[in-house]
Amino acid sequence: MHPHGFTTVWALCLATIYFFLYRWSQRNTVGPKSWPLLGASIEQLRNYERLHDWVLQYLEKADTIHVPMPFGYSYTYTANPDNVEYILKSNFSNFPKGQAFHENMEELLGDGIFNSDGDVWRQQRKTASFEFASKVLRDFSTVVFREYAQKLAFILAHFAQKHCCPIDMQDIYMRLTLDSICKIGFGVDMGTLSPLLPEVPFATSFDQANYIVTLRFIDPLWKLKRFFNIGPEALLKKSLQVIDEFTYRVIRTRREEINSTQPLKHRENARPDILSRFIMLSEEPGNKLNDKSLRDIVLNFVIAGRDTTAVTLSWFTFLLTQHPHVADLIYNELCLFEQHHTQQASTQCSTSLHDHILSFANLLSYDSVASLPYLHASLCETLRLYPAVPEDPKGILADDVLPTGVRLKKGCMVTYSPYCMGRMKALWGDDACSFNPDRWIKNNALQSVSPFKFTTFQAGPRICIGKDSAFLQLKITTAILCRFFTFKLVQDCPVKYKTMAILAMAHGLKVFAVARS
């Protein structure tokens, strides 16, 4: 045999032995098996469309696992509440969003509150927390949520009259929440929630961009694709152009309105939208907020106020189609609520469906919806099974050890998974995967659950500042819909999630709306 041929055969034999030994060394590994250099990326890509369930199958065996990635990088997934508390609270400073997360999401979210750390994050959170705590914004939000929920109910009433006409509820909910957040956050009426259901290029582009930047987390070649402007990265570039055109137009419009109508000494009384507050801050001496900063703030609040609430409403509606007895229990609670508050108001409901919707909606306020415990429990149960943000990765600043003894390597990522935690039998019992709102109620009262177990709204310093606002919109919207409609899933309509930062439905939610008598 030629010497070169012998060398080649010998090299192949050594490589085969190495690969065999490498795989054999992982025979007792609980998490996914990996390959040299490639890590577990092959298995991860193969399961990308069911990524959260893929992680769940391993976390059910061990509540914390390592997922090796190419070139020595790794993710650590955990579903242990003690570990979650350590990450989100006890040692918060060691687990920022991190450079890798920021880099992957930067073109979409920039330095906004969901993609920033340190002083930039603290400044935005301080301002946003102040706004969300204000009674002015709460009252304004209540009015807006009622207004758009009524519009949605009128659209459904129209579809209900066409008994054979299905409707994509996820699309409708996305329109509802986009209009709502733009009205509350930026003082802009988008007008997407109308009977004509117009196309919304911004919404389409935002969804595309969201999906593509999420794909980057497991695509080691995304930077190369961006450099050559090919594949999904080329589509991302086009989507970002549409997004930026919209957001910068919103910023210019609001700035012009503020400058033209508000004298400097009275600006604190300007319209109560969140963007106006940040614009006024940007004009204070020494403030470093520019239009790019405001653009990032706008997009972060869009993803916070639009997508998360819309997908929660979508999964809630889907679950009601699968559990009509829950829909009936909610309906009964709403009828009692209406009877009680109508008697207090000494008014009678109109026989017209349109007027009845209006009169019922007027009963819904920040305080009154607190007396709907079963509706609240049903929403919590939806969020447990289908959390709007299914995974929350954090960077690791320094080598660390979790309370369960798992070691973390500096520069890698650690991720807690609300999706997986909501389905863990160890946390919720043998019926963890079942939709059961009663688990949230004991002695006719709502039960509180540790935020490190029910992690939908995070916990610690980064706990969701919009939680109360989100529940307010969820309750107002679902109260009106469940009082006047039932929903039936279109036969053979596929219902599964699309792997992205938000747990959206891959094919929408096609249903028939039926008016209740």
Strand 400-401 relative to strand 441-442, pairing? unpaired
**Among 153, 110, 95, 142, which residue's Cα sits nearest to residue 303?**
110
**What CA–CA distance (Å, rounded) separates 392 from 402?**
16
**What CA–CA distance (Å, rounded) separates 404 from 93?**
19
Contacts of 53 (CB under 8 A, 6+ apart): none
**What CA–CA distance (Å, rounded) separates 506 from 485?**
24
3-state secondary structure of 127: helix
CB-CB neighbours of 220 under 10 Å: 14
Distance of CA 440 to the CA centre of its chain: 22
CB-CB neighbours of 161 under 10 Å: 11
The answer to whether the annotation marks 464 as part of a ligand binding site is yes
Q: How far is CA 165 from CA 162, 357, 489, 513, in A?
A: 5, 21, 12, 9
**What CA–CA distance (Å, rounded) separates 293 from 279?**
10
3-state secondary structure of 37: coil
Q: Which DSSP helix (H) or strand (E) runs through 445?
A: strand 445-446
**Among 74, 78, 124, which residue's Cα sits nearest to residue 100?**
74
Residue tagged 């570039």 (tokens): 237
Residue 184 near residue 273 (C-beta atoms within 8 A): yes
Residue 113 near residue 125 (C-beta atoms within 8 A): yes
**What CA–CA distance (Å, rounded) separates 286 from 226?**
36
Strand partners, 12: none
**What CA–CA distance (Å, rounded) separates 502 from 304?**
10
Q: Which residues are annotated as a binding site for heme?
A: 464
Q: Which residues are annotated as a binding site?
A: 464
